[in-house]
Amino acid sequence: MKTGRFSGSLLFMLALVLALAGCGRDGGEAAQDTAPAPPEVVLAPDDGEDFELAWQGVLPCADCEGIQTRLSLRREGEETVFELRETYLGAAQGNEFTTTGRWQLETADEPGASAVYRLGPEGGSLGFAIQPDGSLQLLDPDGRPPEPPLAFRLHRI
C-alpha cells in the first residue's frame, strides 16, 4: 500500500510541475506582449520651438548621503537656458545650490555614440550624455561616464 501512495504522490507532483511550467511559459509571453513601449527619446524639439525638459535623481556624494539633483533645460526663442538645483542630503543648513546658464547640444558623429548636453559657456565642462531610455548620464570632465555609471543618472520627469 505504501508503494501505491508513493507512486500516486509522485505522479501528482510531476503533473503539478508540468502544469506550473506550462503556466510560466504562457504568462511570460503574455507579459512580453503587453510590455509598454520604451519612451521616445527627445533631444530637443525642432529649431524655433520653445520647450522645457527636466530630469531628476540622487547622485553620489563623497561626504554626504547623496545630492538630490534636478536639471531643467529651456529654449525660449534663440536662448537656451539651464537650471541645475542641487541639495546635499544629510548636510547642515545652507546645503541647496542653484546654478543657471546656457546649454548646448553636441550631437555625436560616431554611430552608437550619445549626444551630450553641455552646461555653461562655450560647451562647458559639465556634460550629460543622453541615454536610449531618455535618462541623462553625468560625464566626468574628460567626457567619460564615472564608475559605477548607473549611480550617476538623472531620470526624465
Give the pLDDT of residue 16.
39
Give the pLDDT of residue 45.
62
Give the pLDDT of residue 52.
93
Give the pLDDT of residue 123.
61
Nearest C-alpha neighbor of 130 from the set 43, 71, 60: 43
Extract the residue ranges of the chain whose pLDDT is less than 70: 1-48, 91-93, 110-112, 122-123
Is the pTM higher than 0.85? The answer reads: no
